Amino acid sequence: MAVSSLTIRPRRTAAVKQGKKLWVEPWVVWRQDAFRELTCPACGETSVMEKHLDASPPFEPRKRYALYACGPCGTLHYPDAPPFEYESRKDADIARKFYVEIGAGLDAMIAPLAWAEPERVKSYLEVGGGYGFSVDFAARGLGWRAANIDPSFIARTGAADLGHKHLPEYLSADNPLPDGPFDRVLSSEVIEHVSNPDPFLAALVSALDKDGALIVTTPDAGAVHPAASLDALRPIIVAGHHLVIFSAKGLEIALRRAGMEHVSVIARDQTLYAVAARKPVEVDFTARPDRQIYRQYLKARRDALSEDPTLHAGFAVRLLKECVHTGAWDEAREALENLTTRWRRDYGLDLGAPQSVRPRFVLPEKNRGRAIRKFAANHCFNLAVALFYAARLREQDGDLDKAEALYRACSRSAKTLRKVFEAMFAACRETEDAGHRAALHAAMLAVRTDPDRAVREILALTPDAASLPQDLWLEAQRRVFADGVLTGRREAVEPLALMVQAQLLASAQSETPLTPSQGYAAAALGMRAEQTGHREEAAHWYDQAAHAMSDAGERKVFEGYRDRMMVTPQSGDTAIEAAFAEISALEAEGRSWKARSKALALIDPDRPDHDAVVATLGSRLASLEHYRTS
């Protein structure tokens, strides 16, 4: 019998493929299953160390390296990992665009320049400065004689882009630099890549003036523990790249061994920051460079380098963000206008018409690189961040409709960018955070015109609650609920009542006094209780609201509400009963101004307690108006 032409012929490829499939372990496994006698690269002690964990390098699931912990100082190191070769130029164009537009944390990078008597600094050397943003800022923003010594490809790229002084070599103690020594030497996130820190630190010290200060930053071994999240561990324990993860104690000992007598180390945000010098130096780890100088620097660089769309976008968006953060609103308007004009021209993307900003990205099965490049040619990677700060500015200007539309565009764009970054094996916390915040701000603004939508949006975010910025998340629930109830749309915001109530009860249990924002939410819960006939409960919430107010006038208003709940209208006093009923009904429709005149008209002008009754009603209504306009 002939085989049908419709027969699907059996093939064995699936079985073959399945046979080849590897069992791959998670990238990090906490496994204390080995001991070895090792010498700690940080404190220099030789001891029997216990293995802490083993981990795979990024994108190399088959390799595994064991991380050992030094008992005396707590420093972690990978004794068997070879130094990593960093000269990869694969996808260098995409990597540059990502770094320049969004990846580089410029503000954090330049902070160390202000920590140790910056007014005495005239010369600055960065060792392994990478792309070189902070060297560029030191030179052009602060006027220091500055150079970056770094043999990497990205350092050459940065120097060509920004035009700062660059030495494409490794620093060593027996190869003194022609224009050294320097008042300030900084090495940020480099020492963890070196297997033996002593020659490296000796080289840093050799470049330092005898009165100068050395600044070193590196990941903190104190942040490596089994309770830490994988996201937190990922940038610290990078197996195969990071060779030594210092403890604060280990770093201090290594710096002293290099001849630095005065060493200060702090741990902050999973990073160690150290200032080391031969002579005493005043250190302030909270200091930051002058904000006006920073803004001037960003603007000058934006304009000088505007020919390159990536450099323009990198400086223009950071400028907008900085202006909004520091409340320099006129400068922020200029920054937004400049960016709007430019992106309209370059990408046909209009920040002035946020409804039209709808970036799309679909990851194809094949040719991932081409899809990413196509997206990159049509958008900037800092799009969501730009939209967020544009929204903040419009909100500040009182253009709430535009602000809401910009927040929505930001939230949409952040979702798309997340997919793009994932396809690039990258992640951007700033973009994610902007997207989350924007979604919450959009809901808070939506309650003005569409409380149903605001509620839907808040509820849609509940599954992601853990990754949202908590303060803003709670505030958004309160604001949408309170604005809804206090403007007479209680039914629409009713689904949030339970969440808001739980939030306020939690505050009460922890005995933290309520903030005014929580107070308005309490007042809204009071009004809800009152309108559903629960006068005692209403009195409780009005009392909470009164206590939360910092303004004496507002406190009085809510005390008035509370007291009114305590008095039941006298039976037979139909005028007062009618007045209360009328007020409640009109308020429920959001028409408090009308409620006032109606209610007042119902009270007999000749009754003996006329003034007291009017005062109660009047203050209550006045406060409603006050709330709505504030």
> Which is closer to Zn ion, CB of 53 or CB of 539?
53
CB 222 to Zn ion: min, Å: 13
CB 252 to Zn ion: min, Å: 11
> Which is closer to Zn ion, CB of 74 or CB of 289?
74
Q: Classify strands 65-69 and 46-55 as parallel, antiparallel or unpaired.
A: antiparallel
> Which is closer to Zn ion, CB of 43 or CB of 313?
43
> Which is closer to Zn ion, CB of 72 or CB of 495?
72
> Which is closer to Zn ion, CB of 51 or CB of 555?
51
Q: Does 233 bind Zn ion (CB under 5 A)?
A: no
Check: CB of residue 510 under 8 Å from CB of residue 611. Answer: no
> Which is closer to Zn ion, CB of 66 or CB of 213?
66
- Alpha helices, H only, 380-428: 383-396, 400-423
CB 249 to Zn ion: min, Å: 8
CB 81 to Zn ion: min, Å: 18
CB 248 to Zn ion: min, Å: 12
CB 257 to Zn ion: min, Å: 11
> Which is closer to Zn ion, CB of 45 or CB of 433?
45
Residues 6+ apart with CB under 8 A from 582: 595, 598, 599, 602
Question: By CB under 5 A, what part of segment 299-328 binds Zn ion?
Answer: none
Q: Does 40 bind Zn ion (CB under 5 A)?
A: yes
Using the 8-state DSSP alphabet, how is residue 142 labeled?
Answer: S
> Which is closer to Zn ion, CB of 248 or CB of 599?
248
Question: Which one of 40-48, 178-186, 264-272, 595-603 is the stretch in contact with Zn ion (CB under 5 A)?
Answer: 40-48
String of contacts with Zn ion for each residue 258-297, x by CB under 5 A: ----------------------------------------
Q: Helix, strand, coil % (nearest 5) of the chain?
A: 55, 10, 35
- Determine how many CB atoms are found less than 10 A away from the CB of residue 429: 9
CB 215 to Zn ion: min, Å: 22
Calpha distance 500→519 (Å, rounded): 11
CB 253 to Zn ion: min, Å: 7
Question: By CB under 5 A, what part of segment 516-555 binds Zn ion?
Answer: none
Please report the DSSP string for 426-473 in residue order.
Answer: ---HHHHHHHHHHHHHHHHHHTTT-HHHHHHHHHHHGGGGGGS-HHHH
The alpha carbons of the chain give a radius of gyration, in whole angstroms, of 31
Calpha distance 274→213 (Å, rounded): 10
Calpha distance 533→527 (Å, rounded): 10
> Which is closer to Zn ion, CB of 75 or CB of 487?
75
With CB under 5 A, what is the number of residues at the site for Zn ion?
Answer: 7
Question: By CB under 5 A, what part of segment 42-81 binds Zn ion?
Answer: 42-43, 70, 73, 75
Beta-ladder partners of 37:
48
Question: By CB under 5 A, what part of segment 347-406 binds Zn ion?
Answer: none
Residue 454 tokens read as: 């605001």
> Which is closer to Zn ion, CB of 43 or CB of 497?
43
Alpha-carbon separation of residue 315 from 105, 308, 473, 522, 534 (angstroms) = 12, 11, 30, 44, 57
Query: Is 602 strand, coil or helix?
Result: coil
> Which residue pairs from 602-609 have beta carbons closer than 8 angstroms and sit at least 24 positions apart in sequence?
602/575, 602/578, 603/575, 603/576, 603/579, 604/575, 607/575
Question: Which one of 23-31, 35-43, 174-182, 343-351 is the stretch in contact with Zn ion (CB under 5 A)?
Answer: 35-43
CB 234 to Zn ion: min, Å: 24
Q: Does 159 bind Zn ion (CB under 5 A)?
A: no
Sign of CA dihedral 543, 548, 552, 558: negative
Residue 217 tokens read as: 């930053």
> Which is closer to Zn ion, CB of 41 or CB of 128?
41
Alpha-carbon separation of residue 65 from 78, 237, 240 (angstroms) = 7, 10, 7
CB 73 to Zn ion: min, Å: 3
CB 374 to Zn ion: min, Å: 50
String of contacts with Zn ion for each residue 234-253, x by CB under 5 A: ----------------x---
Q: Which of 85, 92, 169 is nearest to 127 (CA)?
A: 169
String of contacts with Zn ion for each residue 193-232, x by CB under 5 A: ----------------------------------------
Binding residues vs Zn ion (CB under 5 A): 40, 42-43, 70, 73, 75, 250
